[in-house]
A and B are shown apart, each in its own frame.
Chain A
Amino acid sequence: MIAYVTRRLLHAIPVLLGISILVFMLFHVVGGNPVYRMLGKNADAEEIARMTHQLGLDRPVWAQYLHYLASLAHGDFGRSWETKQRISTMLAEGFWPSLSLAVPSFMIASVLAVLISMLAVLYRYRKADRILVVLSVLGMSLSILAFIIGAQFLLAYRYDLFPISGYENGFRGLPYLALPMLIWVANQLGGDVRYYRSVLLEEINREYVVTARARGLSKGQAMYRHVLPNALIPIITRLVMGIPLLFTGSLLLENFFGIPGLGNMSVNALNASDFPVIEAMTLFGSALYIAANIIGDVLYAVFDPRVKLS
């Protein structure tokens, strides 16, 4: 097991390097010259040249890359162009608020989606199922903005069920997080139900299930004895794939509900072309994704007896 995880970690290194090259190139090409913004009003050509030199932007690209890699290795993402804050601090500050919104919402939504799709599959090709398909596509095509604007206005303001926006640390933050969580769940359900429904449908049509049913298992029994366990792998896949979305998925939610998380930070950085921050977010997200993959693979091994960790 340990050997397997270690090997997977080693496999991750070339991928991480590839990402750093890709990201660096992208942002270097996109980057433009940050100097104008740093100097603002009435900067003359000489000042601009000096600052360009100070920031090392006049060095060859490969030298800049190596420098960049070296600082990354020290966990130093530099400072934001826009806010001048240390990016590692920004990431650390934003991580928990994001997580406390994303993880519970994601879990609730996933469990609900599996349950709903189980029902859909049990009643497959009937009217209820068809309505569900339409509903989930509707959920997929409704912009999350509609959910946010509508829910904030109606549930929080008009009916006063939730605070309008805000955030607190720890459990005191729960009231503030409840509504964004609800919206998250509503928004995630559409796509998830679509996915899990087709996964379960695929399983339930297999011969062994048909056989099991012939042997006298009830629908529900067949579902949880055979279908669900066998569908676990694609379900885990979907869950693992969702991990990097734990912060990009909540971009707009955090903005509208004033949650000081990574999504909020990313939107601000995007609006300000704050490349160091976007770069750090991209790297951070990628690392998260790779980690999630490894976790996913280990989970497969735990849940699927056919996968051997050798």
Chain B
Amino acid sequence: MSAASNIPLEGAEPLAAAGPRTGTTEPRSPRRSSWGKLLRDKSAMAALAVILVYVVVALLAMSHLIARHYQEALGTAYVPPSRQFLLGTDLLGRSVLQRVVHGTRIALAVGFVSTGIAIPIGVLFGLLSGFYRKRVDGFIVWFYTTVDSIPYILLVLALALVMGKGLVAVCIALGITSWVGACRVVRGEVIKQKELEYVQAARAMGAGGGRILFRHILPNVMHLVLIQASLVFVDAVKSEVILSYLGVGVQGEPSWGVMIDDARIELIGRGAWWQFVSATTAMFVLLLAFNVFNDALRDALDPKFKTK
């Protein structure tokens, strides 16, 4: 449970801070070819397919088309995987398969909602801070430094407690604590972009600050935002597990975190490995897909990454 996970994986910030190391400062290259590159990347497409499968499963579970009986005792306690129960049953005789499927719904909900909260906040603050500098910048930098200086897990816990636990609270807590990375990266990039010709040109043509920011600069930092978003997503899924273990996670529903918590002692005491393995595997495959996709995304979209 490396809480280090909230650190931007690709280390964008130190590079941005160090200035020229962020690479070439040439005007934006055509984005279209980048997407083409991504589409041609087989492993990326495979990862995307896996993610889509998860999304579909989650949607089906959400609309109660599959895994409807995840709370009911369908068999006796601790039935090992068999033909009737592909992944066995848990203490209360509930189907582990149905619970894993239901957990997918929660994992994705936590991932998407918290990303959906964190990224807009981060991008907005980053844009404003990088573009206007001075007081706005001073305040925003102070604010995110403050938020960032509080150990992540403690901050999330405190927020989850304030908002009264449960899925919504977890999403919001994760969302409003993990915007800092995106904010920082966007800010750094905006500071650079601002000096570039196209911005100067737009300014010369009399475009207003808002227009420059959102019409001109924003599209040019979108690739960084995308990468950040997938990082936030992965972190959120992982954090949910820790929160559930500490008892402030999702309530009354089986998330992967709750399942791992349930399974931790029965693993050795009873040798009931199936719940643990199922939940961990479900999480592993999703994280792997995201990691592979994220790498490919970076290869394709980040101009300084002209490899392969």
Contacts and interface: CB of A to CB of B under 8 A. Distances in A.
A144 B298 CA distance: 29
Given A22-B150, A153-B268, A145 B260 contact: yes
Contacts of B159: 26
A134 interface: yes
Contact of A245 (B4, B150, B307): B4
B161 A30 contact: yes
B214 interface: no
14 contacts: A22-B146, A26-B155, A26-B159, A140-B2, A141-B280, A143-B241, A143-B280, A146-B276, A199-B10, A233-B15, A242-B4, A245-B2, A252-B1, A270-B246
Contact of B284 (A18, A142, A281, A304): A142
Taking residues whose C-beta sits less than 8 angstroms from the other chain, chain B's interface range is 35 or more
**Chain A binding site: helix, strand, loop or mixed by DSSP?**
helix
A142 B153 CA distance: 18
Given A194-B9, A238-B11, A282-B150, A26 B158 contact: yes
A271 B157 CA distance: 11
A198 B260 contact: no
B220 to A, nearest CB: 20
Nearest to B267: A149
Contacts of B2: 140, 187-188, 190-192, 245, 249
B305 A205 contact: yes
Interface in A119-166: 125, 133-134, 137-138, 140-146, 149-150, 153
Interface of A: 14-15, 18-19, 22-23, 26-27, 29-30, 125, 133-134, 137-138, 140-146, 149-150, 153, 187-188, 190-192, 194-195, 198-199, 201-202, 205, 233-234, 237-238, 241-242, 244-245, 248-249, 251-252, 266-267, 270-271, 273, 278, 281-282, 285-286, 289-290, 293, 304, 306-307
5 nearest CB pairs, A to B:
A18-B146, A234-B11, A285-B151, A141-B284, A26-B158
Given A146-B276, A245-B2, A278 B18 contact: no
